Structures are given as C-alpha cells and as structure tokens.
Structure 1
Amino acid sequence: LCFNIEPVAWQTFRRDAAVPDFAVNMSLGLTMTSDPRTQKTLACGPTIPKDCKSITMYSGVCFEIDLSNAFGPPLPSTNKECRTEADIAFLLDGSGSVGWEDFERMKTFVKEVVRSFPAKDTQFALAQFSSETQIHYYFNDFFSGSWEANVGSVRQLYGGTYTATGIRTVVENVFTQTKGSRPNVKKILIVITDGESHQRNQLPSAAATAEAKNIVRFAIGVGNAFLNPGAKYELDTIASSPSQEHVFRVASFDALEKIKQSLATKIFSIEGTQTSGESLKMEMAQEGFSAAYFTETGSCKRLIPFHGRCVYNSDIFCCFPPLCADDLLLAQFQSGEYFGAEVCAMNLDEDQYTDLILISAPMYKESDREGRVYVCTLTNLCNLDFSPLVLRGGAFAQGRFGSSLAVLPDLNLDKLSDLAVGAPLENDGQGSIYIFNGEAGRINPTYSQRIAGSEVQSGLKFFGMSISQSSFDRSGDKLPDLAVGSKGTVVLLRSKPIVMIEASVSFNPTQIPTQNDDCSKPLVNTATICFTMTSSKTNTAKINYTLTLDATRKVPNNRAYISEKQRQSSGSTTISIGQNCLDVKFSIDACPEDALNELINELKFTFDGVPSSTNLKPSLDQRAQTLTFHPLGFEINCGTDGKCVDNIKLDFNFTSSSEVRVGIDELLEATVSVENSGENSYNSRVILTYPPGLSYRKFTILKGRIDCNSLDSENGLSRGKTECTVDSPFSTLLVSFSFLKLGDKDIWVDSNNLQVTNDETTKPETGCSVARCAVFKCTGFIGRGEKKQYIISANLSSGWIEQIGLHSAKFLLTSTASLEYDKNQYIYFSTGSNTNPPIRKIEAEVEVYPEPDFTKEIVGGSLGGLALLVLLTAGLYKAGFFKSKYKEMINQEAGEGADPGADGGAPAPE
C-alpha cells in the first residue's frame, strides 16, 4: 500500500515572540497532533535543557496553532526549577578524642553543606554523640532564628565514642513526622567520626534500623585511625551499600572542605539510582514527548504528558511524563520505562466521547517480557483513574510492546472498539502486533490475537513499528482493513468475517417419566441438536459435535446411553446462516436408582469456516459457547397443585449407653430414622453435630439410599459435623403386621397356647416377613453368677400345608434370644471388640407327613391269597392228590384171591 507525498513543505513554523525565552533547543514539532473537531494543531518540543548541579535535565513545552497559524500560549508557561527534596541529618562525633578546633571545623563543614542546598526543598537536623547522644535541632526547628548562629553555638560533649547509640537515637527520634520529617522524600544521615567505636558489635543492628526506614547513610572517617581493617569495617557497616559510594576517608578535619562538593553531588543522585524509590522523580520528565486529543461531554480537550498532574487553563488538559509518574501509583511504574511514548484516546462505545486513555511504556522491564500499556478511565473532567489496567504482550525478553497504538473499529461484532498494539522487537526483531477487544467500560487485558511478522511475510523487520490510525475498507469487502508498518514495507491486513453460533438441545419427551410398570424396558427419548449461526454476511461452516449423556456421572453409573456401554454421539454437519438441527435417539433406564437429580447432558463442538468466493474464511466469535450443558429432569409427583408439602419426622436414639465411659467404651453408636408422612420430599438432609472429643468412624445404612459425609473438629474447639443426604425422594410408608392366615387354616393351632416358663410379662409383637411369630419379653433381675432358663413350647398344625396342595413339607422353626438392659445404667463388657451382647439363635427342622393307611394292602393281600389257594387246589386235584389209595389196595387184594393156585401152592396165612 503506497501513498504519493509531495516532497515540498507546505508551511514552516519557526520560533517567534510567542515562544518563551527558556524554550531553547526545544525541537519544536517532534510531537504533533490535530484536533479532529476544530482542526487546530498541537506542536510540542520536549528537549529543553536545564543544568542542575552535576546533571542536565530536560523539559518541554507545547503550543496550539489555530487555522490562522497563530500560536497560543506556551504550556506550561514557565520552566521547572531544579528540585532537591531531601531531609538531611548530621550526626557529629563529640567524644574526647576530637579537639575543640576540629569540632569547630566539623560545624563549619555542616554550614557549607547546608548552604549548597536550596532551603525551600531541603530540611536539616543536627545531633552529637559521645558517651550520650544529644539532639540539638530537629527538621522543624533547624531554620528557626539564625541557623548559622545556632550551629555555631553547639557545645562539644566529650566522653566515649558510642556510635551505635547515636545512630539509633537519630533514626528513632529525628526521622519522624512529628519532628518535621516528610514522607516520600529522600532521607539522608551523615555520620562524622574520628575513631573506632566502643559499640562495634552493635553497629550492624543500628544500621539495619536505619535501613528499615529507607535512610541513606554517608560515613565520613577523619584521621589515621581508619587505616586499619577494623576501623574500615566500621565505616562500611555504618554506610549504605555500596560502600564505595557512601564512605569518605580524609586525613584530617582540614580536608572536609574537599569532600563537600562530592558529598552534595552524591546526595543529588541521578534519577533511578536509589533503591528506596525516593530519588529524583520528575526532573527527567520531558513534557510534550507525546500528545493526543480526547473529547468529553461535547468539548475537546488535549492530553499532554507533563509532570503527572492536572494543569487548569482556558483549555483544561491532563498530563503524564514519559519516564515516570509522580502522582500515580508508584508501585506500578518503573524508572526508564518511557512512560508516555505513545498516547491514544479511545472512544470505546462509539458515542463520540472519549472513554479511555491509553499510555504506553515500551521500555518497562519484567523478568520475561518488555513493554506494557496502561489503560486509564476518565471518571470526570480531567480526573484520571490512578489504578490503571495494564496490557501485556507475550513472553519475549525484547519486544518493545507498546511502541505503536491504534484504535480499531469493531472487529468482533460486540459494538465496542478494539485496539492494536505493536511490538516491533519480538522474535529477534521480526516484530508482531496484538489485537485487544473492548469490554464494557474497559479493554479485555487478554489479547484475542497475536499476528507475528514471520507469519505475514518472510523477511519482515520491525513489523508493528507503526499502525495506521484509521482502518478503512481498502479491499472492497465491506470489512475494515489495517495497515502495519515495518522496515521498508507497509503491509495491508484484511479482517475476517465474524460469525456467532448458538447451540441448543431440546428433548422429547421433555421430562423422564417416573411411574413405570416395567422397569426392565428402557425409556426412549430424542435429543434435537440445533446450531444457529448469525453473521452480517453469507457464510458457511463445518461443525464437529459430540453429545455426552449424563456427563456428570462416571461410566457405568450413567443413566442414559446411545447404545449398550456407549453414551456419546459424535458427528459433523455443514451449516449456513439460520438454524440447523439434527436428531439423536437415546435410551434411559426405566427405574434408575437416582430419580431425583436431573441428567446433565454435555454438547461440545468445534468450528471450521468454509472459504468464501473472496477466499476469506469466517472466524467464530470469541463469545460463542463451544461447550454447553443441557439438563433433562424427572417428573416430580406433587399432587394436583404441583407443590410438594412434606411432613418429615426425625427420631434419634443411642444404640448403646448414652454415656461414654473413658477407657471402656470404644464406640458410640447412634441410630437416626427419618419418616415422611406427607407428600414426596426432595433433597432432604440430616445434619448431626458432635463434640470435638469424638471422631467420626463410619455409617451403616439400615434402610433407604443415603450418603453421608463427615468433618471432624479441626482445632479441637469447634464441633464435628456429619451431613447425610437422602438421594431419592421418599414418601409416606405405612407398615402393619397381623396374624397371617391361608384360607381358614392357622399355622399355630392356638396362638394362646404359646408359653414361656418363668415369663413375667408377655407382649406379643409382629415382625416376621412370612408367617406370624410371637415375641416374649421377660423382665427380671439377675444377680451376679445367677442363671435363668426359659422353655418355649407350642403345638403345630399341618392343615395349611394340605391347603396349598402339598402332602408333606420341611421347614425351619427359628427361635432367637437377645439380652436387653438399661444402657443408661449398665455397660456390656466383653473381652473382644464387640460392645453389644450377642444374639443366640436355635433352628429346628420340622418335617410334616401324612399317617400311614394299610387297608388297600390288606384287602389286596387277602384276595391274592385266596386266588393262589384256588389255583393250588385245582393243581392238586388234577394231579390226583385227592384220590383214595385204600380202594386201590382193596381192589388189588380182591384180584389176588380169585386165583389162589396160580403161584404154585403158596402156603396159607396163619
């Protein structure tokens, strides 16, 4: 970008009668600026020299030139005087080793030093030490009467050399405001002595006392006594560091005249050499080093770096020095920072009135960077806020951040002006510029963009050395452009279009149902993700997004998921101006353990601009929220009125003795129960406090979902605190127990027949989950070593078993016995760690079966026996078992008698 400039001077201004006589060698025109309303020109010359003792200081003057080329009055109208503000105290050695002639020479030396300083800026005090210390004149009465006669009338004390006592007395009694010592001026103590001190070991502590008050100490040793190392050490201890700058040694009191000028020169130190910050402040400030106009309440004012104070004239202006600031916060400023090298008036909200004054200090040194810019707000006419905001660049040892300033138009579409700051020495002299965005009433101290010269074009040197004060559209894209100067090259930078994207998520259904009959079937929901893009120009962009369901819970405790073990949904979409939406389906546990706390769903996206026809990629507005959270809550059942009115009752008791026996009791247990007899209660908490002598150990959940946290006493005085939260809403729960029957059959034949021997009181209770049980409570007194026996007996019925279709069954009959006692009176003692009496339990296995019936067996056996007998009889008959052998024998015998001779004459029977 080049401009043609005619190399001929249109108008020349020279020194005339309007310029005061003191304005010699002023370099008029080194700083110039113009009033954008009146077209007047402000010309300044900041190099007017003035000799002040051993140094030359520079000041400046400015003139306003109207349209007729007439000079206005000089600002300021007079040159500054040399200033040497200091409070100087003399401490003279009045011991016996000093002759009266030498003491007189010391007083003469004091007079000569006092005469070398102007009385209007410098105050003096005089004290003498020997075995004691005497203060002759304080700061507020030194010049009362004839001060020279007062000094001459001081009498020598004589005695020992107690130097440490003298220093401590002057520091504590002379350098005080009640005695005329002034704050924020140099404090000087001059000690003159001729011999070694009797308090050598106390000198370091006395010097430290003076150092604590920022008192600069000069030590003058007179005589040959200070040739030995011990005496030299004393002078070095008394004097400030470095000792070579604050110690004088002369052979005799006659030589004091020779060091008078050297001492005065060291007291009148060059700016910035005193570590206490009380050296010269404004003497090196050059008025008119830089200047800028600003507007306020419709009238134009001019701002000139001058003396750090407001100067009132026909045209009121406010001032700052280029090297230091007297009335600002000194802790924020640094000598040599070149404060005011660039001054810029900024109209932040574009309402034609100046809101901020920007003042650069490009030479400000920090441990890791160089340069800064102060942002001052205008609270009222010519009243600067002296707690300025500070802008800093990147961490570069050499940067000269603030070498150029330029107010830019609104770059990020927030209707506030922005700021460009040059740092031409960064990156080994390649340079860079920084962009800062405006905020409500100020500038955001964090830069939004850093443009390095190496990124713009290779070979650039000192990029950011100058920045154009106007940002016109030079590229024809209706966007502001920026011209930045470097060595031998001017670069034109184009601004990108800015787009704003708002992300939103809606759910269908909008609430998670809590009345679910089937807890095994998850609920289905749909998340609609929308991206709305707004811009002054037509742009497109690619969006990469990630939706995380129930993001505040860790896996696998999440209650919502896209698929099994997956609760994130990622994707990308291309969007244009307007609203762009997409749907994501997911599932929710039907009956989650936590149905109170809503699901916090996280949506995160990244932006990637698509280049336009002019090769410009849009940028995302820095105010855009790329990470958003979208809750999805549960239905809350609070009746028709939508308001939950609970009725919570709290019960608290100790499960052991309410008294703690030291050395015996190890644990103190408390049982807390909460009951709600009203509508659902949400976010209910129970808070228990306990004395500092107790420490929390653990909690046990007996019923419900409860989470407890505890904090013991930290200092032994405050009470410990345990806080328990009921995670889910709880409502009224009524539980009643009665004798349980199945049809018309009783488990117990007669509930009244349950008896316990030696029972004194019987109180039936309910508490069994399946069948009715009876609880016997026997109250009695048992002496030491005594035993008691209780026998429980009852009859059982099996009719209830037959009713459910079973002919036989086995079950357990359980009996338990526990010991109760007055825990407020007795303590259960056990050799183990258990502090509660044991509970004994007896289980008896009962088998129920029907009585045996043998009728069928008898009848069947009888009939079977008869059938067997018949079969046996028939068989025998068939076999001839029932035929008579006697008949056969008769028949056989008859056959034998009919033929007797057949056998040859057998003899006849006898």
Structure 2
Amino acid sequence: MLIQCSVCVLGMQHCFNFDTKKYKIIEGSKEAQFGYTVQQHEAGGQKWLLVGAPFETSGQHQTGDVYKCPMNMRAKTNCTRLNLGKVSLNNVSERKDKMRLGMTLTSNPTDHSFVTCGPLWSYECGSSYYSTGICSRVNEGFKFSRTIAPAFQRCETYMDIVIVLDGSNSIYPWYEVRDFLVNILQKFYIGPGQIQVGVVQYGSRVVHEFALNDFRTVEEVVEAAKTIDQRGGEETRTALGISVARTEGFKRGGRKGAKKVMLVITDGESHDSPDLQKVMEDCNADNITTYAIAVLGYYNRRGINPEAFLKEIKYIASDPDEKHFFNVTDESALKDIVDALGERIFSLEGMNPNGTGFGLQMSQAGFSSHIVEDGILVGAVGAYDWNGAVLKETRHGKVIPSKSSYLEEFPEELKNHGAYLGYTVNSVVSAKGKRIYLSGAPRFNHTGKVIVFILKNNGNLTILQSLKGYQIGSYYGSELAPLDIDGDGVTDYLLVAAPMFFSKGWERGNVYIYKMTKRTLFILEGSLEISDQNQNSRFGSAMAVIPDMNGDAYREVVVGAPLEDNHQGAIYLFYGQLSGIQPKYRQRISAAGLSAGLQYFGRSIHGMMDVNEDGLVDLAVGAFGAAVLIWSRSVVRIQTKITFEPEKINTFNKDCRRGGKDVTCMSSIVCLGLDARTPLQSHRVGTVLIDERRYPPRASLNDNDRQQQTRNLTLWRKEESCENIQFYAQETTDYGHPIVFVVEVGLQSLDEGPVLDHSWPTTFRTELPFWNGCEGDESCVPDLVLQKRAMWALCRHQGTLVGSTEGVVESSRRRLVVDARLDNRGENAYGTTLNISHSNNLLFSSLIVKDSDAQIECRAEDRERNERICNVSSPFMRSLAQVSFRLEFELSHSVFLDHVRVVLDAARFPHTLPYKGHTHQVPVKATVLAVIYNSVFLPFSCINVQIQNLGFFPVSDLQLTVDVFAVTMGGNHLLQITNIDIDRVRGRSFKYLLVLSTTPNHVSPEDLSHIPQLVSLPHVSSAVVVYTQVPRQIALDMSVSQMTEMSFIPETG
C-alpha cells in the first residue's frame, strides 16, 4: 500500500542550472568571425567579455581583432574594438594580412591582463614570408604592453652591407660601375629587419655617399645609387677605403646583431698596400665578411700582367676565395656576376644548414596559448616541418626546445605526417605541487597524440607520458581540459577531446576521461556521453571547466558541439562528483532553443564570473557572428520530514468510524524546508494522495466520511512549514507489509527562480508498520515445527520386498500418501507459507486439511520444477496453533526413477528467516509381468517364441537365452543356430542386442549306430538376446529361423 504526498513540479522534467529563458545575445560581424573565441575578463574593476574576431579588417588588411563587451544585465550591449591589429613588431618587414589575431584568447586574472595571438602573422625574409606567429599582451587598461613572438628569428638577410667603390681615375667607363651597383642593389632584400646598404667611394680620399640607415626600401637605395658620380683621384688607396668603411661606415646606422658584409670593387693595386694586413686583421676581428671584385679592364687595355693585383684582391677577400673572390675582364663584365654574387651572399632562406627542411620559420606560434606562473606557453603547429612544438616566453627570454627533444615520440619516419603538436597547450599540477605541461598533436600518425612533459627554462624538454588516439581522423588531442574537481589545487582528471570521432555513421565526436594518479600518470576511465541523435556534432570542439554550480563543492564541465542541429550547435553540462566527472550530461542547451539565427553555437566556451550577482557563475558561449551570455539559476534542496501519530497502526484498537465501519484513525505530519544557496522567494505546491492498489484499500484520507485518495496542499513560508494530514486504516489480511508514504517535492515556477539539486532526492519514502500483537516491538518470534510421515501401506496393494527397504511398485500399486502436521510453538507467525516439492516421477494429487479451522491455500505453482507455495492461516498463524494435512501423489507412467522424493518447508514473513523443512526419499523397484509362448516345429528347422510385457512399467536389460542340445557323447555338435528373426507384434518400439555363440571347429570320429538318443551336455549351441528396454504392453515374436547340420566322419571298425 502506498500513500503519496506530492509537492507539484508543474511540468518540470529535469533540474537545470542554466536559464534557457533568460539569456543575452551579443551580435557582431559574421564576416569577421565575431565569436570565434570568448573569454570572461575582469579589468578596471569591471567585468568584461572579450570576443575574438580573427577575420576583422584593419584598412585593407584582414588582420583580426578583439572586442571588449561589458557584462551586465542591460538589454543592449555596445562592444568596443581594441584595434590590436595595428600593433607592429619593430624593424621587421611584416605581413599582417590574414594573420588571424583573436584566434587565441587567454585571460590572466592575476594581473588582469590578457594575451591574444595571430598565429599566421608573417614577415619577409629575402624572397620568403615566414609565418612564425605573434601574440600581444594587453594590460588592465586595455593598452598594448608588449609583443610575444618566441618563434621569431632574425632573417638570414639581416645584414648591414657597406659597398666600397674604387672611384679613382683608372676606372672607365664609370656608368658601367654605376649600372653594376644598381643591378646588385636590386638583388638585395632591403627593408626593416633585412638588409641595409651604405656606399663609400675612395680614390685618394674617402667619401660617404650614403649611410646604412638613410634609406629603407630598394627603390630609395636604387634611386640614390643612380646619382653617384665618380670622385676620381690619382691614387688608389684601397686600405684607407676599407678602414673608413669599417670604423665609420658600419657605425652610421649599423644595427646590433646584424651580419656585417663589405663589398670591395677596385681595378688596380693599392698605393697603401703596406697597410692592408693591419686593416684586414681589424675587419676579421669585427666579424666582417668581405667580398672582393677585381676589375681587370685597366690591365687588359695596357697588356699588364695582373698577377700581383689578383694576389692582393684575394688577400682582401674572406676565406675561402672560391666563395668570396670575383674577377671580371673589364667594367662592362660586372653585370655578368650580379646573379652569382647575389647567390653567394644569400643562401637559401629558411632551410636548415643541411638543406633538409624548415625549423621555426613556419611555426605559427600562438595557435594555442596558456599562461603559467613564469610566462606563457604557445603552441607552434608548423615548427619542425609541421610536426609542431611547444615554445615558452618568460620575462627572461625565449625557451625553445630542440627538434631532438621530440624525436622519441615523433620519429623521423613520420615527419611528413604533420602531427601539429601545439594545437592545444595546457598544464596540470601534480600531487607534489609540480606544474607539468600538456600538448595535443591531433594529426600524429593520423590518430592523434597528447604528450605530458616538463620544460625547463634552459630549453630541456622531457616527455613523461604520451596518450594516443583510437581512430584515424578523429583529431584526438585537439582540445584538453585539466580538471581539479575538488578545488584543492591538485589536478584530478584530464579530458581529451576527439571532435571528429566517427560513430554510427556520423561525425559525433568524443571526449575521453583520464584519471591522474599520484605519480602523474593518466589512466583512461571512460568517456562523456551525449544525446543519441544521429547527426554530426563535433562534440568536444570546445571545453571549459567551471566552478561548482549545484552546491556540492565539485567543479563542472561544459562541452561544445557546434555542428549539432544542422550546424546551429549545442552545449552540454556535466556535473562533477566525489568519484569524478559524471559521464551522463545534466543539461543540453541547443542554439535552436535560444534563437533561430544562431550558428556554430559552442565553438568556444568560458565561465568563471558571476555576472548577475546571484552567487553563481554565468556562462559565455561563442557562435558564428555572436556571443551568448547565459545566466545561472540557484540550486536548492527541499528537506522533507514525515512523522506519524501513533507510530504504528493498531487495527485491534478501532477508535473511530468511517463509512459505517469501525476503523483505526491516524495522523501524519509532513514538514518541508528549503535549503538554498541564495535568497529566494518561492512557494511549494503539493498533492497528498493514497495510492492503494487494492479494493477495499487498507488506508484512506479523511474527507467527510468518504474515502478520499488525494489532497492538495500549499506551503508559502520560506522557513520550515508543516501540515497535519488525517487518515484511517481498516481491517486487512496483510499485516506483514507496512504502509509506505512517498513524498515527491518540487518548485512551482519553471521559468524563474531556483532549480532543484539533481543529486538531492525529490522522492522521500517512509514506512508505517502495523502493530504485530507480540511482546517485541519490531517483530514476532514464532517457532514453526513441521512433522510428516509417508505411508505406502495406506494405498491398496502396496508393500515392500521381503528383507528389503525398497518400495516395490507393482502395476496396480501407484499411489503415495504423506501425512504432516505444522505447529507454531512460539508467537504469531505472519505470512506463514508451506513449500512443497517432489521428484519428477510423482504427480501431485491433492492436499486435505484434517480436523482444523486453519486454512491452507496453494497460490503459486511451478510445474517445471514440481514446486508449489501454499499460505497457512493467512494473514498469520496464531501462537500455539497447529494444522494437520494429507498430501497424495500418483506415480507417473512416463517418468521412471529408482526413488521417490517429497520435500516440505515451512517459512514465515520475513522470508529471510531460516526454513524448517523435511525431505522424505524412498528407493523403489517396479515388478514386471512377462509371458513367453513357444511352439516347436520338427525337424529342428524353426523354433518360434513370443514374449509379452503385460505390466505398466517398461523392463530394462531383459535377457533371453536359447539353447539347442544337439551334441553327441563324443562332444560333436550336430546342429548350430545360424539366424534369429525378431519382430514386434504390437505396442511401442524397442531395442535389442543379439549374440550368437561360437561353435568349436574340432570334430572327432564317432560311431552313433548304437546310441538311441542324444544327450544333454555342457556344450550346447546357444543364442542370447538382450532387450535393452521393453516398453509396457508390448508383444514380441522371436523365431530361430535356421539351424545348420554339422558334418563329421563316422568311426569305422
């Protein structure tokens, strides 16, 4: 019986934390991909939502940018663009177009700054553009503070080149030299971060034509070179020109760290050659690389041997000569060495020294970022030929692990796979308080990988563990979410996403749950579960760990699925608990349920701040061209208490009348209290009912002398509220089972106010027992004693074999009787039952109660197991009561065993108490009536025998032996049985085995003329027929159909 008090939920099916009725959509440019990233941020004492728009334009360039949007409860929000796309790296020929600034956003709550990255930021190096990526740190006042570019490296063309021109009178024609100068300058990659050029002209004296920092483009330098005139001079003072270039030329606009290159062009031996040795030693000390060009026009025009001149020029050129020394026949031939000179000055950009591939030139650093105590980690997916790397920048400088650091987990044979290590970066804190880094490589070996590693600030990287993906193309490791579930500062779990995981024919996605051990090892525990809808989902494209939402002190996880509902998107909320993250989601919020215009809702998620100041974190979710703020709802628990007066139902004490009958009146007090995290103004509505699934019911609510099964109640006060509910109980046969009160609680409003804590029960069960009439409060102590006796003699014609304990069952003796008596020598026995079972060769016939007022009612039968359950004196067997009864059984005609067995058990409620039972088993045998008819036809050619089983039972292993005595005194066999025919006259089928004896082959001479007849000797011709089973009521014919005469030689006198 069930009494139910239900505090109505008015249609609520689940308890959800996030309010899907009240939310705020901040719209932006879809073309700019506004909403690609979102980050809650506090700065200047205000709460802001940072929104990345990586396709935003700055002028004619698609640089990307970040917006700041105030987080408040106002209906309209105006966001402000930060114009971070205008930030540049000094002294670099940069390319900002399509750099995707805002693709990465990371807030730093410690100093209220944030970092945003443009991983496709590029700069020009020679003929190449290197996409090393760039990040910008923005301070609390939303002002750019510094640039983070750990993968940036100076170009190979970061050179200061000073050209030393011989302008003496011997140079002719001058325009050839000037044309050469213009041509070679057009080969130079002049610009910020690349080449600077200065020109010095000498003869008898030295003149600076222009300094290194006078011009910043090729066009400017070329135009200046076209205006250089020949200064002339009677002497060629090469040593002086080189010395002035070293001491003055490289200081006029020279840059620290730039490679120093000097290009000397002359047509004759120097007049100050004794000074050359000292000058060149100084150049070598300053790490100046010198290229020297000997113009032989003057020598060739006059037929002079240039050997001494060439020797001097080779001395000026840096070693080796074959790379740094040139000579041309005359001034007009200078144009022929322009390309060769350019190739020698500029080696192939970007390649490693052995020419095998790229290092950090295409890093795309900033594809992911993660702020740590002493700096920032950035993922560089394009580093080391797109195998990827993790770089770090601290206040002390860059931390760049070598390529060899990754070789153990990213072997060379897989270098062409493009693992994309650094696609995401994060960190965990071990049980010892040590920070350990994580990074995902979703394309490794096509299945993905996550590495767990330590990175020291000297660049040493040690990989501690790797986690591998399970499906090709699943993008395992593209998102990571460490989870400190109890907030103690130590990481407990790691969530690894594979958003492209293919399942059931769809790109559904998967999120794996790893538990972190005390040794900082990650062990797979399972995966998160989402809806069973067959659709593309990309579940795991974004993940966010958020603070506790339901008051249990455990953190929660929100996971995005931006492709669900035909690319409208959805997010899933998963609760934390003591044993870890709950794999079944608690709430699914779909974009379709918020606004029909939303797309790719769930592409980014962040939740760390309370926006509406209700004490709970509110959620920010990115979408295509929008950011959505979703408010949280308070979580409450309804405390329920039920008491009864009196504490037990005593149906022996009928103290009131209902419906013209004497009944027992009772009262229940239902108290409800609200346990909430925040102030509330809610009321609860309830319905009290009795759900008694029998007629008439054992209990009903009081209502004007009528049976009333339901009643409504409303509790308005915030503090604990109680209500007295009257009911009554009437006479019943079921005293063993208590009445169960069930209180179901809920809240009235669905659209506003709190929600119920899912972990707290909304159904409360309380049992109200019946008084049992015994001395003990809780239960009676009966003492059931069962006695029985089986009797064959009570059935007609039954008996036993003489000298045997076995029962003999003859054809007409087929009944067994068991007499039994059940005594209760203790207190009342509620729910007394008698359990009867027997062997398969018995058929239950009847149960007869003898000379007793007690009733035995058999209510359940299991024919396959030969069992039945019978109630004794329902509802209870009184103290000192007894009941005698007789059981009768028939013996089966189809099942035959060597025994009969009857088992009786007596039990009472509760059935966990031990049974008191008896087993009676008797071995039995069955007699068989077999009749044999025979006829013999002489001579002994055929003998017919008929066998009949006239009994009611089959016979097993019946043996029939046929002997033919046809043997002489001398032991000679005269006849031998050679064949027996067996046939069934009527009845069922049977089986038999025929064995013919073997007659000895020995024959001896013997005179038979004086012998009147044959004699019976031990040696006979015989046949044995063994019938393995002869069914009852069957007749068989057996014919000895053939006997063969034995031949022998008679004895002669």
TM-score (norm 1): 0.51
1:49 CA displacement: 7.0
Select the residue among 417, 421, 432 that pairs with 2:559. Answer: 421
Q: Distance in 1 between matches of 2:391 and 2:824?
A: 85
Pair 1:293 & 2:432 matched: no
For 2:399, what is the secondary structure of its paired residue? coil
CA gap 1:509/1:729 in 2 versus in 1, 3 angstroms? same
For 2:773, what is the secondary structure of its paired residue? coil
1:23 paired residue number: 359
1:733 CA displacement: 3.8
Q: Distance in 2 between matches of 1:407 and 1:724?
A: 60
2:533 paired residue number: 395
1:69 paired residue number: 397
Select the residue among 619, 622, 627 that pairs with 1:482. Answer: 619
Select the residue among 711, 714, 717 that pairs with 2:862. Answer: 711
1:818-869: CA deviation from partner (whole Å, max 9, x where unpaired)? xxxxxx999xxxxxxxxxxxxxxxxxxxxxxxxxxxxxxxxxxxxxxxxxxx
1:432 paired residue number: 570
8 Å CA contact 2:688–2:713 kept in 1: the answer is: no
1:664 CA displacement: 6.1
2:147 paired residue number: 11
CA gap 1:660/1:699 in 2 versus in 1, 3 angstroms? farther
Pair 1:674 & 2:831 matched: no
For 1:462, what is the secondary structure of its paired residue? coil
Map 1:791-802 → 2, pairs under 5 A:
none
1:41 paired residue number: 376
Q: Distance in 2 between matches of 1:20 and 1:688?
A: 92
CA gap 1:645/1:443 in 2 versus in 1, 3 angstroms? same
1:554 paired residue number: 694
For 1:525, what is the secondary structure of its paired residue? strand
CA gap 1:309/1:341 in 2 versus in 1, 3 angstroms? closer
Q: Distance in 2 between matches of 1:735 and 1:693?
A: 30
Pair 1:452 & 2:590 matched: yes
Q: Distance in 2 between matches of 1:506 and 1:365?
A: 55
Map 1:112-261 → 2, pairs under 5 A:
none
Pair 1:635 & 2:786 matched: no
1:301-346: CA deviation from partner (whole Å, max 9, x where unpaired)? 111225456667767655657xx52xxxxxxx32111111110111
Q: Distance in 2 between matches of 1:32 and 1:649?
A: 80
Map 1:708-787 → 2, pairs under 5 A:
708-713=859-864, 720-724=866-870, 726=872, 727-733=874-880
1:472-513: CA deviation from partner (whole Å, max 9, x where unpaired)? 112233321111111121111110111111333221111011
Q: Distance in 2 between matches of 1:406 and 1:72?
A: 28
2:438 paired residue number: 303
For 1:475, what is the secondary structure of its paired residue? coil
Select the residue among 492, 505, 508 that pairs with 2:629. Answer: 492
Q: Distance in 1 between matches of 2:687 and 2:787?
A: 48
1:338 paired residue number: 475
8 Å CA contact 1:291–1:343 kept in 2: the answer is: yes
**Amino acid of the residue matched to residue 611 of structure 2?**
R
**Amino acid of the residue matched to residue 381 of structure 2?**
P
1:358 paired residue number: 495
Q: Distance in 1 between matches of 2:702 and 2:811?
A: 58
1:716-758: CA deviation from partner (whole Å, max 9, x where unpaired)? xxxx44444555342334699xxxxxxxxxxxxxxxxxxxxxx
**Amino acid of the residue matched to residue 45 of structure 1?**
A
CA gap 1:290/1:700 in 2 versus in 1, 3 angstroms? farther
Select the residue among 636, 640, 648 that pairs with 1:511. Answer: 648
1:426-446: CA deviation from partner (whole Å, max 9, x where unpaired)? 111211111111122211122
The number of equivalent residue pairs is 519
Structure having the higher strand fraction is 2
8 Å CA contact 1:44–1:62 kept in 2: the answer is: yes
**Amino acid of the residue matched to residue 13 of structure 1?**
A
1:458 CA displacement: 3.6
Q: Distance in 2 between matches of 1:46 and 1:620?
A: 45
For 1:77, what is the secondary structure of its paired residue? helix
1:648 paired residue number: 784
8 Å CA contact 1:538–1:577 kept in 2: the answer is: no
For 1:455, what is the secondary structure of its paired residue? helix
Map 1:569-608 → 2, pairs under 5 A:
569-589=710-730, 591-608=731-748
1:584-642: CA deviation from partner (whole Å, max 9, x where unpaired)? 211101x321222211233334432387xxxx421111123233322110113332787
1:408 paired residue number: 546
2:608 paired residue number: 471
**Amino acid of the residue matched to residue 473 of structure 2?**
G
1:777-835: CA deviation from partner (whole Å, max 9, x where unpaired)? xxxxxxxxxxxxxxxxxxxxxxxxxxxxxxxxxxxxxxxxxxxxxxx999xxxxxxxxx
Q: Distance in 1 between matches of 2:814 and 2:698?
A: 40
1:354 CA displacement: 0.8
Q: Distance in 1 between matches of 2:881 and 2:537?
A: 78
Map 1:678-697 → 2, pairs under 5 A:
678-682=826-830, 684-694=832-842
**Amino acid of the residue matched to residue 453 of structure 1?**
A
For 1:608, what is the secondary structure of its paired residue? coil
**Amino acid of the residue matched to residue 827 of structure 2?**
E
Structure having the higher helix fraction is 1
8 Å CA contact 1:302–1:317 kept in 2: the answer is: no
1:382 paired residue number: 520
8 Å CA contact 2:572–2:588 kept in 1: the answer is: yes
8 Å CA contact 1:23–1:61 kept in 2: the answer is: no
CA gap 1:39/1:543 in 2 versus in 1, 3 angstroms? same
For 1:454, what is the secondary structure of its paired residue? helix
1:421 CA displacement: 0.7
1:355 CA displacement: 0.9
8 Å CA contact 1:681–1:730 kept in 2: the answer is: yes
CA gap 1:640/1:549 in 2 versus in 1, 3 angstroms? same
1:42-79: CA deviation from partner (whole Å, max 9, x where unpaired)? 122223576xxxxxxx5222123223232143476144
For 1:374, what is the secondary structure of its paired residue? strand
Q: Distance in 2 between matches of 1:489 and 1:429?
A: 14
**Amino acid of the residue matched to residue 455 of structure 1?**
G
For 1:350, what is the secondary structure of its paired residue? coil
8 Å CA contact 1:62–1:74 kept in 2: the answer is: no
8 Å CA contact 2:650–2:771 kept in 1: the answer is: yes
Q: Distance in 2 between matches of 1:585 and 1:669?
A: 54
8 Å CA contact 1:644–1:681 kept in 2: the answer is: yes
**Amino acid of the residue matched to residue 607 of structure 1?**
L
CA gap 1:83/1:345 in 2 versus in 1, 3 angstroms? closer
**Amino acid of the residue matched to residue 724 of structure 2?**
D
CA gap 1:667/1:505 in 2 versus in 1, 3 angstroms? farther
CA gap 1:625/1:704 in 2 versus in 1, 3 angstroms? farther
1:424-470: CA deviation from partner (whole Å, max 9, x where unpaired)? 111112111111111222111221111111222341111111011x4
**Amino acid of the residue matched to residue 675 of structure 1?**
D
CA gap 1:67/1:677 in 2 versus in 1, 3 angstroms? same
Q: Distance in 2 between matches of 1:617 and 1:39?
A: 43
8 Å CA contact 1:403–1:465 kept in 2: the answer is: yes
CA gap 1:71/1:505 in 2 versus in 1, 3 angstroms? same
1:402 CA displacement: 0.9
Q: Distance in 2 between matches of 1:384 and 1:825?
A: 70
Aligned-pair Cα RMSD in Å: 4.1
For 2:496, what is the secondary structure of its paired residue? strand
CA gap 1:449/1:700 in 2 versus in 1, 3 angstroms? farther
Select the residue among 581, 589, 610 that pairs with 1:443. Answer: 581
For 2:733, what is the secondary structure of its paired residue? coil
CA gap 1:514/1:352 in 2 versus in 1, 3 angstroms? same
Q: Distance in 2 between matches of 1:532 and 1:493?
A: 29
8 Å CA contact 1:402–1:422 kept in 2: the answer is: yes
CA gap 1:25/1:17 in 2 versus in 1, 3 angstroms? closer
Between 1 and 2, higher relative CO (CA 8 Å, sep ≥ 6) is seen in 2
CA gap 1:16/1:35 in 2 versus in 1, 3 angstroms? closer
TM-score (norm 2): 0.44
